[in-house]
A and B are shown apart, each in its own frame.
Chain A
Amino acid sequence: MPENNSVHLTIDGRAITVPAGTLLIEACRAVNIEVPCFCYYPNLSVQAACRMCLVEIEKMPKLQTACTVPVAEGMVVRTDTPTVHKARKTTNEFLLTNHPLDCPVCDKGGECELQDMTLTYGTGTGRFDEPKRHRDEQQWSPVVFYDRPRCILCYRCVRVCGEGMDVWALGVGNRAILSTILPNAGDHLECEECGMCIDICPVGALTSGAYRYKTRPWEMKHVGAICTFCGDGCRTTLGVRNDRIIRGDNRDASGINGEFLCIKGRYGFDFTQHAERLKTPLARIDGELKPVSWAQALETVARRWRAIQQQGGRFGVIGSTRALNEESYQLQRLARQVLGTNNIDHHRSADLPTLYDALAGTSATGSAPPLAAAASLKTASAVLLVGGDPTYEHPLLAWNVRWGYRLSGTRLYVLHHREIKLRRQAHRMAVVAEGAEGAAVRYLAGQGGAVAARLSAVGPAEEKRYPQLPPPDPQPISGGLEEFKAELEKESNVVIIFGSELRGDDIRALVALGGRLAGQTRYIGLADHSNSHGAADMGLYPDLLPGYESVSDAAARGRFEALWGARLPAEAGLNQREMAEALDRGELAALYVVGANPLRLDPVNPANLRRSFLVVQDLFLTETAKEADIVLPALAAYEKTGTLTNTCGEVQATRRAAAWPGGKSDLEIIHALARLMGVDFGRPDPDRVFAEIRAHVKGYNVSVVQLAAGRSALAVPLNGAVPHRSAPHLIRSNHDTLFSDGTLGRYSHAINEVMEKRLLLPGQAR
Chain B
Amino acid sequence: MAHPLEIRVVSKRFDDPSAATLKGYLASDGYKALEKALKMKPEAIIEEVKTSALRGRGGAGFPTGLKWSFIPRQSPKPKYVVCNADESEPGTCKDRLIMQFDPFSLLEGMAIAGIAIGAERGFIYVRGEYRYLIDILDRAIAEAYDAGYLGKKLRGTNFHFDLMTHTGAGAYECGEESALLESLEGKRGIPRIKPPFPATSGLYGCPTVINNVETLASVPHIILNGGEWFLKLGLPKAGGVKLTCLSGHVHNPGVYELPLGFPMRRLIEEIGGGVQGGALKAVVPGGSSTPLLNAEEALGVNLDFDSVAKLGSFLGSGGVVVVNDRTCMVKFAKRIIHFYRHESCGWCVPCREGTNWLELTLTRFHLGGGRSEDIDVMFDVAQSILGRTLCALGDAAAMPTISIIQKWRQEFEDHLAGRPCPYEREFAHA
Binding site for B on A (CB under 8 A): 46-52, 54, 62-63, 68, 86-87, 90-91, 93-95, 97-98, 127-131, 152-153, 172, 174-179, 462, 465-466, 468
* A50 to B, closest residue via Cβ: B349
Question: Within the complex, what minimum Cβ distance (angstroms) separates B340 from chain A?
Answer: 9
Question: Within the complex, what minimum Cβ distance (angstroms) separates A230 from chain B?
Answer: 36
Q: Are B348 and A179 in contact (CB under 8 A)?
A: no
Q: Are B205 and A172 in contact (CB under 8 A)?
A: no
Q: Are B353 and A62 in contact (CB under 8 A)?
A: no
Interface string of B166-209 (1 = CB under 8 A from A): 00000101000000000000011000010000000100010000
* B192 to A, closest residue via Cβ: A48
Partner of B360, one of A50, A93, A130: A130
Which A residues lie within 8 Å of B171 (CB)?
175
Q: Are B344 and A128 in contact (CB under 8 A)?
A: no
Q: Are A98 and B345 in contact (CB under 8 A)?
A: no
Partner of A51, one of B348, B357, B360, B364: B348
Q: Given the complex of chains A and B, what is the CA–CA distance between A127 and B373 in angstroms?
A: 10
Q: Are B388 and A91 in contact (CB under 8 A)?
A: yes
Which B residues lie within 8 Å of A86 (CB)?
384
Question: Within the complex, what minimum Cβ distance (angstroms) separates A49 from chain B?
Answer: 5
Partner of A54, one of B173, B188, B388: B388
Q: Are A177 and B353 in contact (CB under 8 A)?
A: yes
Which B residues lie within 8 Å of A91 (CB)?
349-350, 384, 388
Partner of A94, one of B187, B344, B353: B353
Interface string of B378-407 (1 = CB under 8 A from A): 001100100111100000000000000000
The contact sample of 17 A-B pairs, CB cut-off 8 A, is A46-B193, A47-B347, A48-B348, A50-B349, A51-B390, A68-B193, A86-B384, A87-B384, A94-B354, A94-B357, A94-B384, A95-B349, A130-B357, A131-B360, A153-B349, A153-B352, A172-B188
Q: Are A152 and B387 in contact (CB under 8 A)?
A: no
Given A51-B349, A177-B341, output 20 extra A-B contacts at Cβ < 8 Å.
A49-B348, A49-B349, A51-B348, A51-B388, A62-B387, A63-B387, A90-B350, A94-B349, A97-B353, A127-B377, A130-B357, A153-B346, A176-B341, A176-B342, A176-B345, A176-B356, A177-B352, A179-B346, A462-B205, A465-B201
Partner of A90, one of B201, B348, B384: B384
Question: Within the complex, what minimum Cβ distance (angstroms) separates B144 from chain A?
Answer: 32
B355 within 8 A of A: yes
Interface string of B143-175 (1 = CB under 8 A from A): 000000000000000000000000000010100
Question: Within the complex, what minimum Cβ distance (angstroms) separates A38 from chain B?
Answer: 8
Q: Given the complex of chains A and B, what is the CA–CA distance between A50 and B346 in angstroms?
A: 11
Q: Given the complex of chains A and B, what is the CA–CA distance between A153 and B187 in angstroms?
A: 18
Q: Given the complex of chains A and B, what is the CA–CA distance between A130 and B362 in angstroms?
A: 11
Partner of A177, one of B188, B193, B344, B390: B344
From A94, A98, A468, residue with most partner B Cβ within 10 Å: A94
Question: Within the complex, what minimum Cβ distance (angstroms) separates B311 from chain A?
Answer: 19
* A97 to B, closest residue via Cβ: B353
* B358 to A, closest residue via Cβ: A130
Which B residues lie within 8 Å of A52 (CB)?
349
Q: Given the complex of chains A and B, what is the CA–CA distance between A466 and B205 in angstroms?
A: 9
Which A residues lie within 8 Å of B353 (CB)?
94-95, 97-98, 177
B35 within 8 A of A: no
Q: Are A97 and B356 in contact (CB under 8 A)?
A: yes
Question: Within the complex, what minimum Cβ distance (angstroms) separates B128 from chain A?
Answer: 15
Q: Given the complex of chains A and B, what is the CA–CA distance between A179 and B381 in angstroms?
A: 21
From B193, B347, B349, residue with most partner A Cβ within 10 Å: B349
Which B residues lie within 8 Å of A50 (CB)?
348-349
Q: Given the complex of chains A and B, what is the CA–CA distance between A62 and B171 in angstroms?
A: 26
Q: Given the complex of chains A and B, what is the CA–CA distance between A374 and B191 in angstroms?
A: 37
* B344 to A, closest residue via Cβ: A176
Which A residues lie within 8 Å of B84 (CB)?
none
Binding site for A on B (CB under 8 A): 171, 173, 187-188, 193, 201, 205, 341-350, 352-357, 360-361, 364, 377, 380-381, 384, 387-390
Q: Given the complex of chains A and B, what is the CA–CA distance between A6 and B337 in angstroms?
A: 46
* B373 to A, closest residue via Cβ: A127
Question: Within the complex, what minimum Cβ distance (angstroms) separates B98 from chain A?
Answer: 29
* B378 to A, closest residue via Cβ: A127
Q: Are B356 and A98 in contact (CB under 8 A)?
A: yes
Q: Are A63 and B348 in contact (CB under 8 A)?
A: no
Which B residues lie within 8 Å of A466 (CB)?
205
The 10 A-B pairs of least Cβ separation, nearest first, read A179-B346, A90-B384, A130-B360, A94-B353, A176-B344, A465-B205, A177-B356, A176-B346, A62-B387, A175-B346
Question: Within the complex, what minimum Cβ distance (angstroms) separates A480 from chain B?
Answer: 30
Partner of A49, one of B356, B380, B390: B390
Which B residues lie within 8 Å of A178 (CB)?
346
Question: Within the complex, what minimum Cβ distance (angstroms) separates B373 from chain A?
Answer: 8
Which B residues lie within 8 Å of A152 (CB)?
349
Q: Given the complex of chains A and B, what is the CA–CA distance between A746 and B40 in angstroms?
A: 76
Q: Are A49 and B347 in contact (CB under 8 A)?
A: yes
Q: Given the complex of chains A and B, what is the CA–CA distance between A50 and B188 in angstroms?
A: 18
Which B residues lie within 8 Å of A51 (CB)?
348-350, 388-390
Question: Within the complex, what minimum Cβ distance (angstroms) separates A461 from chain B?
Answer: 13
Question: Within the complex, what minimum Cβ distance (angstroms) separates A306 from chain B?
Answer: 74
* B206 to A, closest residue via Cβ: A465
Which B residues lie within 8 Å of A128 (CB)?
357
Question: Within the complex, what minimum Cβ distance (angstroms) separates A727 from chain B?
Answer: 54
Which A residues lie within 8 Å of B201 (CB)?
465
Question: Within the complex, what minimum Cβ distance (angstroms) separates A623 from chain B?
Answer: 52
Q: Given the complex of chains A and B, what is the CA–CA distance between A377 and B353 in angstroms?
A: 42
From B187, B345, B347, B377, residue with most partner A Cβ within 10 Å: B347
Q: Given the complex of chains A and B, what is the CA–CA distance between A153 and B346 in angstroms?
A: 9
Which A residues lie within 8 Å of B343 (CB)?
176
Question: Within the complex, what minimum Cβ distance (angstroms) separates B99 from chain A?
Answer: 26
Q: Given the complex of chains A and B, what is the CA–CA distance between A153 and B188 in angstroms?
A: 15
Q: Given the complex of chains A and B, what is the CA–CA distance between A90 and B382 in angstroms?
A: 11
Which A residues lie within 8 Å of B364 (CB)?
130
Which A residues lie within 8 Å of B354 (CB)?
94
Which A residues lie within 8 Å of B355 (CB)?
176-177
Question: Within the complex, what minimum Cβ distance (angstroms) separates A69 from chain B?
Answer: 9
Which A residues lie within 8 Å of B193 (CB)?
46, 48, 68
Which B residues lie within 8 Å of A98 (CB)?
353, 356
Q: Given the complex of chains A and B, what is the CA–CA distance between A301 and B201 in angstroms?
A: 75
* A68 to B, closest residue via Cβ: B193
Question: Within the complex, what minimum Cβ distance (angstroms) separates B281 from chain A?
Answer: 28
Partner of A48, one of B187, B188, B342, B390: B390
Question: Within the complex, what minimum Cβ distance (angstroms) separates B265 from chain A?
Answer: 32
From A51, A153, A465, residue with most partner B Cβ within 10 Å: A51
Q: Given the complex of chains A and B, what is the CA–CA distance between A86 and B344 in angstroms?
A: 23
* B185 to A, closest residue via Cβ: A466
Which A residues lie within 8 Å of B345 (CB)?
175-176
Q: Given the complex of chains A and B, what is the CA–CA distance between A62 and B392 in angstroms?
A: 12
Which A residues lie within 8 Å of B389 (CB)?
51
Q: Given the complex of chains A and B, what is the CA–CA distance between A217 and B178 in angstroms?
A: 43
Partner of A468, one of B187, B352, B384: B187
Which A residues lie within 8 Å of B173 (CB)?
175
Q: Given the complex of chains A and B, what is the CA–CA distance between A54 and B380 in angstroms?
A: 18
Question: Within the complex, what minimum Cβ distance (angstroms) separates A613 from chain B?
Answer: 68
Which A residues lie within 8 Å of B360 (CB)?
130-131
Q: Are A97 and B346 in contact (CB under 8 A)?
A: no
Question: Within the complex, what minimum Cβ distance (angstroms) separates B335 from chain A?
Answer: 16
Known: A175-B344, A176-B352, A177-B341. A97 touches B390 (CB 8 A): no
Which B residues lie within 8 Å of A95 (CB)?
349, 353
Question: Within the complex, what minimum Cβ distance (angstroms) separates A170 from chain B?
Answer: 14
Question: Within the complex, what minimum Cβ distance (angstroms) separates A373 from chain B?
Answer: 35
* A127 to B, closest residue via Cβ: B377
Q: Given the complex of chains A and B, what is the CA–CA distance between A56 and B307 in angstroms?
A: 30
Which B residues lie within 8 Å of A131 (CB)?
360
Q: Given the complex of chains A and B, what is the CA–CA distance between A592 and B417 in angstroms?
A: 90
Q: Given the complex of chains A and B, what is the CA–CA distance between A52 and B388 in angstroms?
A: 9
Question: Within the complex, what minimum Cβ distance (angstroms) separates A67 from chain B?
Answer: 9
* A155 to B, closest residue via Cβ: B347
Which B residues lie within 8 Å of A174 (CB)?
346
